């Protein structure tokens, strides 16, 4: 007998909650919805969920703060952030919080089902990995100290500063390469035409 999986969707847009409910209820999930972070956290106190989705931009508590609080209460529960505002900063902050992933709006039924299945399978995979025999430990790298640390930092700063110039080089070189290829093809076609005469 398969028990129903419980899903919580925290989003101030009721349409999103209804979309999850419509897609997942037919697949055997029980879906609860909350309209803001506070309501979602109350639901989590009252019940255990198998996976939680939270919108990133909501009035009051934002989705990343909600994710952080969920992680503190229930670190084993997969948390997926729903976003229409996917920024590098948000994704970096979310990974530090241990968020299991992002799903971007607009949502499709296939996306909803797929991301839910992935989130539910991940803990199983982690458990299987934990039960596998450990590989022989490789010697750990010595921590960076002194000049090695300074040179690593200097190299990273140099790459960071060089990146715009490298990109600019591509922007300048790409049309030149294209023009060269176009000219080469034109010359070859002209030579074939002359040879045929």
- Span 140-176, pLDDT tens digits: 555 556 666 667 777 778 777 877 887 787 778 778 7
Q: Residue 20 and residue 144: Cα distance in Å, rounded?
A: 48
Predicted local confidence at residue 76, as pLDDT: 86
Q: Residue 9 and residue 82: Cα distance in Å, rounded?
A: 9
Rounded to an integer, what is the distance from CA 72 to the centroid of its chain? 20
Strand order across the beta sheet in which 79-83 lies:
29-34, 5-10, 51-55, 79-83, 101-104
Q: Residue 83 and residue 103: Cα distance in Å, rounded?
A: 6
Q: CA dist 177 to 116, 137, 166, 183, Å? A: 45, 49, 16, 10
Closest CA to 54 of 45, 46, 65: 65
Predicted local confidence at residue 145, as pLDDT: 60
Predicted local confidence at residue 186, as pLDDT: 86
Predicted local confidence at residue 29, as pLDDT: 92
Predicted local confidence at residue 129, as pLDDT: 43
pTM over 0.75: no
Q: Is the peptide bond before 106 cis (omega within 30 degrees of 0)?
A: yes
Token readout for 57 is 């931009």
Token readout for 102 is 């992002």
Predicted local confidence at residue 125, as pLDDT: 46
pLDDT 10s digits, 154-164 = 777 877 787 78
Residues of the chain short of pLDDT 50, as ranges, are 1, 124-137
Helix, strand, coil % over all residues of the chain, rounded to 5: 60, 15, 25
């Amino acid at each position: 007998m398969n028990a129903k999986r419980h899903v919580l969707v925290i989003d101030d847009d009721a349409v999103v909650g209804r979309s999850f409910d419509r897609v997942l209820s037919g697949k055997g999930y029980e879906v609860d919805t909350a309209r803001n972070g506070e309501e979602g956290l109350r639901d989590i106190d009252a019940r255990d969920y198998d996976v939680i989705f939270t919108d990133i931009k909501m009035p009051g508590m934002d989705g990343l703060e909600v994710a952080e609080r969920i992680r503190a209460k229930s670190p084993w529960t997969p948390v997926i952030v729903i976003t229409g505002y996917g920024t590098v900063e948000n994704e970096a902050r979310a990974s530090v919080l241990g968020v299991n992933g992002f799903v971007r709006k607009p949502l499709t039924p296939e996306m909803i089902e797929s991301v839910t299945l992935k989130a539910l399978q991940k803990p199983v995979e982690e458990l299987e990995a934990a039960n596998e025999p450990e590989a022989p430990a490789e010697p750990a790298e010595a921590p960076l100290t002194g000049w090695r640390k300074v040179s690593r930092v200097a190299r990273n700063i140099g790459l960071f500063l060089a990146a715009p110039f490298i990109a600019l080089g591509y922007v300048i070189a790409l049309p030149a390469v294209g023009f060269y290829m176009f000219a080469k093809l034109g010359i070859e076609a002209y030579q074939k035409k002359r040879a045929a005469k």
